Structure 1
Amino acid sequence: MEDTVSVHPSFIRIDEDDHLTSNTHYFGVFDGHGCSHVAMMCKNRLHLLVKEELKKNEWKNTMERSFRRMDEEVILWDQQAGCCRCELHGPESYGVGSTAVVAVVTPDKIVIANCGDSRAVLCRNGKAVPLSNDHKPDRPDELNRIQDAGGRVLYWDGARVCGVLAMSRAIGDNYLKPYVTCEPEVTITERKAEDDCLILASDGLWDVVSNDTACGLARTCLKGNRQSAKMKSPPINDVTEYENCDPTCSNASLLLTKLALARRSADNVSVVVVDLRKVCQML
């Protein structure tokens, strides 16, 4: 299991009119490959980098600079030969990386930064609205970018950068730069009253579950169990490690994960569901 998730409700407060503040919430899903240490570094550090950069930049620059700094930290860690089982692959673990899909939710915006083939989907008025586009090597614009940089896309059990990596953007993977870049695509979506929930998940879910099916299932689960969210104790399962998790969101995430496994997903599955109907407690 090389996936991990990061959940930080109210991780920062944004000043408004010099005297009011608004809660801003952070959620991330990281799908590691080669080993888990890059995904774990993203889990432990990326939200802190976003917090630092947000003090100096607008949203797009904040996310781009945060992802770039995260990539630089990963490369430095590799060069210092950190303690990790992936050292079996060589003295410098350049063949390790991770996707990263991050959502920052404010009272009026949903900011998504995506690097790789994990995905963010918004359920709005009962319909699925993709907020990110998967970075696959055979996506026309990604294919052109790779070829313009001097790389090649080869087909070996699907399209792969240089016949190796099945995604065209990732944090880490230094041996495939500049063909594989850490630059995220950033989208900023205005929130609406009819927004139901937000789903972040690794490709282990999306390989076997469509956007529409995932949104329909999560929406139904949240709608049918919102009253039970008032209970104080979280559900008994092995999925969540977060004390602030809303049980209804945890149950929706667990249900989507079980569906992917029942459909024989061949990859790791990590899912975060955010209830956008909530005002203060987002997960």
Structure 2
Amino acid sequence: MLHQTRSLSSESEGFRKTTSFSDSKAKNARRRRLEIQRLKSDTLTNSDANDETTKRKQSAGVASSSVELNFKSGSAKSQETGENQASEKSLSYSSPGSSSDRSTVSDSNLTSIPPPENEPEKISENLNSTVYGSVSVIGRRREMEDAISTELGFADYKSGMFDFFAVFDGHGGAGVAQACREQLYRIVAKEIEEESANMQAVEAVEERERDGFDWERVMAKSFGKMDEEVAGNDGYRVSVAAEVSIRTMGSTAVVAVVGKREIVVASCGDSRAVISRDGVFVPLTNDHKPDRPDELERIEAAGGRVINWNGHRVLGVLATSRSIGDHYLKPFITSQPEVTIWERTDADEFLILATDGLWDVVSNDVACQVVRGCLDGHIWKKAKGRERESSPSEAAAMLAELAMARGSKDNISVIVVELTKKSSSSFCRKEQAEPRSLVVPS
């Protein structure tokens, strides 16, 4: 009997403990529900406030874009400041992950973008008919590794002032391309000055002048010095990680030095330059690809190999056989440029410089026809039913839009230099014969 009493007593105590524990859980649950309700109320209040803020911003014209397409439209005189400077315009592309594969412009099409009001394109001081426009877009890449450099009147020689245009396609990081943008035009200007001084110091000046200015040497020395500069061999000690990063970065380069009498193009890599003369397009560069016969021979002679690994690559790594930087692949990769000297005439129309983000999906002749049609107003007439000449900036943006529409997966950078105003009677046609004025040193 005593045992049963103790058992009932213990059961009662256990029941009281269980009941107490259950009450505690219920109180905690009610407390949490109240807190959740309070939190919801606060959230709704904040949401309403945010909605009001958003509406006010939208009414004020505030908008956001996932990817920006920035292009420079040079102006001889800015409306706001009245100074000689470049003004930047922005267009919004839909993000790569959007439902539409084709990139679109916020104003539906590039052909419908009006030109800058009362704002002429940037005109070179040494060539009144030289106007340029540029565009650089990240495209479907996560990082922007391209760079563009435009410097009007960057160097002076007895034949007149020179303008500098260049595009750089970086890989392994944007460091080398950015360094080239900031420094290469300065190096080229200094080399032009030194070459001019050397020519004047030579006794047989007349004989040297008949041979012409040694542009090939100027460009070779400039590219070589730029290559040394990005190597990190500047006397400063850096960490092992930083040194590895520097040595594995690189960039292609295509440079155009535009003067009154000639256009000098230096190329290192697979960025490209194309010129239009009297409706005929002529490539001024030859892509440096590892499977190009002469490049393949040079690489193998240096002890390297070209491996077909997702395309022909030097040691199975790099898809171009020449570049600035990439010191971990020396001597198989060289920074030695190929130089083309183009003697100017009144028939020269425009020059296109672009990275392979364009050329991988757009051929030379198509790019030439797009620019010609844009500058002459054919594309505008087709879109709007009336003719209106467009600017080089719009032509460059049109090429970038076309490359995106054709599925380019790379950064896209384009410079269009309009050399003379031509009538709209002719489109670019395929080159029939190489003009005699084209000189390509071996």
After TM superposition, the score normalised by the length of structure 1 is 0.84
Match of 1:7 in 2: 150
Matched, 1:75 2:231: yes
CA distance in 2, matches of 1:78, 1:5: 25
Give the counterpart of 1:191 among 344, 352, 376.
Answer: 344
Letter in 2 for 1:191: R
Letter in 2 for 1:264: G
The whole-number CA distance in structure 2 between the counterparts of 1:23 and 1:93 is: 35
Alignment of 1:150-169 (within 5 A): 150-169=303-322
**Residue number in structure 2 paired with 1:212:** 365
- Structure 1 equivalent of residue 58 of structure 2: none
CA shift in 2, pair 1:91/1:129, >3 Å:
closer
Secondary structure, counterpart of 1:256 in structure 2: helix
- Residues 91 and 60 from structure 1, CA distance in 2 versus in 1: closer, same or farther, beyond 3 angstroms? closer
Among candidates 156, 175, 194, match of residue 37 of structure 1? 175
**Does 1:51 pair with 2:192?**
no
2:277 is the counterpart of 1:124: yes
Q: What is the match of residue 216 of structure 2?
A: 60
Call closer, same or farther: CA 1:94–1:8 in 2, change over 3 Å: same
Q: 2:335, 2:307 → 1: CA distance?
A: 20
Distance in 2 between residues matched to 1:207 and 1:126, nearest whole Å: 23
User: What amino acid sits opposite 2:414 in the alignment?
Assistant: V
1:224 corresponds, among 349, 363, 377, to: 377
Q: Tell me the CA shift for residue 71 of structure 1.
A: 0.2
* Pairs within 5 Å for 1:89-108: 91-108=244-261
What count of residue pairs does the alignment treat as equivalent?
249
Relative distance call for 1:134 and 1:81 in structure 2 (3 A) is farther
SS where residue 117 of structure 1 aligns? Answer: coil
1:197-253 deviation per Cα after TM superposition (whole angstroms, max 9, x unaligned)? 00000001000000001011112212229xxxxxxxxxxxxxxxxxxxxx8111111
Q: d(CA) in 2 for partners of 1:79 and 1:206?
A: 39
Q: CA RMSD in A?
A: 2.0
Q: Which runs of 5+ in 1 are unaligned?
A: 17-21, 226-246, 279-283
Distance 1:27 1:113 in 2: 11
Q: Given that residues 302 and 331 in structure 2 are in contact (C-alpha distance below 8 angstroms), is that contact kept between their aligned partners in structure 1?
A: yes
Report the Cα offset of residue 94 of structure 1.
1.1
Name the % identity: 53
Inter-partner Cα distance in structure 2 for 1:174 and 1:186 = 22
Aligned partner of 1:272 in structure 2 is 415
Q: Please identify runs of 4+ aligned residues in structure 1 that moved more than 6 A.
A: 87-90
User: 265, 269, 290: which is aligned to 1:137?
Assistant: 290
1:107-128: CA deviation from partner (whole Å, max 9, x where unpaired): 1101000000000000111121
Cα contact 1:126–1:216 (8 A) shared by 2: no
For 2:245 and 2:235, the matched residues in 1 are separated by 6
Contact map agreement 1:78 1:93 (CA 8 A) in 2: no
TM-score, structure 2 length as denominator?
0.54
On the 8 A contact 1:30/1:99 being kept in 2, the answer is yes
Partner SS, residue 255 of structure 1 = helix
Mapped contact 1:79–1:92 kept (Cα < 8 A): no
Q: Secondary structure at the match of 2:377?
A: helix
The alpha carbon displacement at 1:90 in A equals: 6.3
Taking a change above 3 Å as real, the CA distance of residues 216 and 80 of structure 1, as seen in their structure-2 partners, is farther
Separation in structure 1 between the aligned mates of residue 359 and residue 235 of structure 2, nearest angstrom: 34
Of Structure 1 and Structure 2, the greater helix share is in 2
